[in-house]
Amino acid sequence: MTAAGAPTIDLAAAKARLLALARLAGFSACGVASVELPEDERHLIEWLEAGFHGRMDYMRRHGSMRSRPHELVSGTVRVISVRMDYWPADARDAEATLADPERGYVSRYALGRDYHKIMRRTLAQLAATLAAELGPFGHRVCVDSAPVLEKALARDAGLGWIGKHTNLLARDAGSLFFLGEILTDLPLPVDAPASAHCGSCAACITVCPTQAIVAPYRLDARRCISYLTIENDGPIPEEFRAALGNRIYGCDDCQLVCPWNKYARAATHPDFKVRHRLDGQTLANLFGWSEAEWNARMRGSAIYRIGYEGWSRNIAVALGNAPSTEEVRRALQSRANDASPLVREHVAWALSRHASAPPERIVAPRAG
Ligand code: B12
Ligand code: SF4
Ligand code: SF4
| Residue-by-residue DSSP string for 97-161 | HHT-TTB-EE-GGGSSS-HHHHHHHHHHHHHHHHHHHH----EEEE-SSSSS-HHHHHHHTTS-E
* pLDDT tops 70 at residue 6: no
Cβ–Cβ under 8 Å, residues 50 and 223: no
Largest CA distance in the chain: 80
pLDDT tens digits, one per residue of 146-181: 899 999 999 999 999 999 999 999 999 999 999 999
Q: What is the pLDDT of residue 8?
A: 80
Q: Where are the alpha helices (DSSP H) in 171-218?
A: 203-207
* pLDDT tops 70 at residue 7: no
- Does residue 108's CB lie within 6 angstroms of at least one atom of ligand 2? no
- Does residue 150's CB lie within 6 angstroms of at least one atom of ligand 1? yes
Return the DSSP state at 162: E
**Ligand 2 atom 8, closest CA:** 208
Residues 241, 76: Cα–Cα separation, whole Å: 44
Closest listed ligand to the CA of 258:
3
217 CA from centroid of ligand 1 (Å): 10
Task: Tell me the average pLDDT of the chain.
Answer: 94
Nearest one of 324, 248, 254 to 289, comparing CA atoms: 248
Residues 97, 221: Cα–Cα separation, whole Å: 24
- Does residue 168's CB lie within 6 angstroms of at least one atom of ligand 3? no
Residues 351, 333: Cα–Cα separation, whole Å: 8
Please give the positions annotated as active site.
Answer: 144
Nearest one of 174, 193, 181, 164 to 85, comparing CA atoms: 174
pLDDT tens digits, one per residue of 312-323: 999 999 999 999
Q: Cβ–Cβ contacts within 10 Å for residue 247, how many?
A: 25
244 CA from centroid of ligand 2 (Å): 10
Strands 105-106 and 247-249: what pairing? parallel
- Does residue 212's CB lie within 6 angstroms of at least one atom of ligand 2? yes
Closest listed ligand to the CA of 264:
1
Cβ–Cβ under 8 Å, residues 246 and 318: yes
With a CB cutoff of 8 Å and minimum separation 6, the contacts of 327 are 102, 282, 284, 365
Residues 361, 356: Cα–Cα separation, whole Å: 10
Cβ–Cβ under 8 Å, residues 315 and 245: no
Residue 1: pLDDT band (50, 70, 90) is: very low
Q: Which atom of ligand 3 is nearest to the CA of 216?
A: 3
- For every residue of 230-269, DSSP letters joined together read II--SPPPHHHHHHHTTEEE---HHHHT-GGGGG--B--S
Residues 262, 264: Cα–Cα separation, whole Å: 6
pLDDT tens digits, one per residue of 87-130: 999 999 999 999 999 999 999 999 999 999 999 999 999 999 99
Phi/psi for 188 (5° steps) reads: -60, 155
Residues 104, 245: Cα–Cα separation, whole Å: 9
pLDDT tens digits, one per residue of 326-362: 999 999 999 999 999 999 999 999 999 999 866 556 6
Q: What is the pLDDT of residue 368?
A: 29
Cβ–Cβ under 8 Å, residues 111 and 91: yes
Residue 245, phi-psi category: left (phi > 0), alpha (psi -120 to 50), beta (remainder): left
- Does residue 217's CB lie within 6 angstroms of at least one atom of ligand 1? yes
**Ligand 1 atom 10, closest CA:** 227
